[in-house]
Structure 1
Amino acid sequence: MFQEERESKNQSMIKTQETIRMNQSFRSIVLEIVCTWSSPDRYFSILRSSLKILV
């Protein structure tokens, strides 16, 4: 009885940790995008990347 309860608690803990990790990575990606778009040389980086695609 107690064993089952403990196992389910552990599983929910693991799921919570995974969710937190997902959120952190998502946040970092969003931050990166925001930083890129708010930086003054974003146009140059966009130009550079588009040139790379063309070449």
Structure 2
Amino acid sequence: MKLSASGVEPTFSQGKVTYLTTGLLRQLNNSTDIKEYFILFYNTAFKVSYKKIHN
């Protein structure tokens, strides 16, 4: 079964971003190094987007 770009994919991506954001915020509560986590988060988000576009 192939995922359609208009159907399942956006929902999956949105869920993944929500999951990453929730995880990030949970980690921020335990850490003072906010900048590092944001850099990590944006790098991860960029890589995920880049892979989806170029696959």
TM-score category (smaller protein): 0.3 to 0.5
Q: What TM-score, normalized by structure 2, do the two folds share?
A: 0.47
Q: What TM-score, normalized by structure 1, do the two folds share?
A: 0.47
Structure with max Cα Rg: 1
Structure with bigger helix share is 1
Q: Which has the higher contact order (CA 8 A, sep 6+)?
A: 2
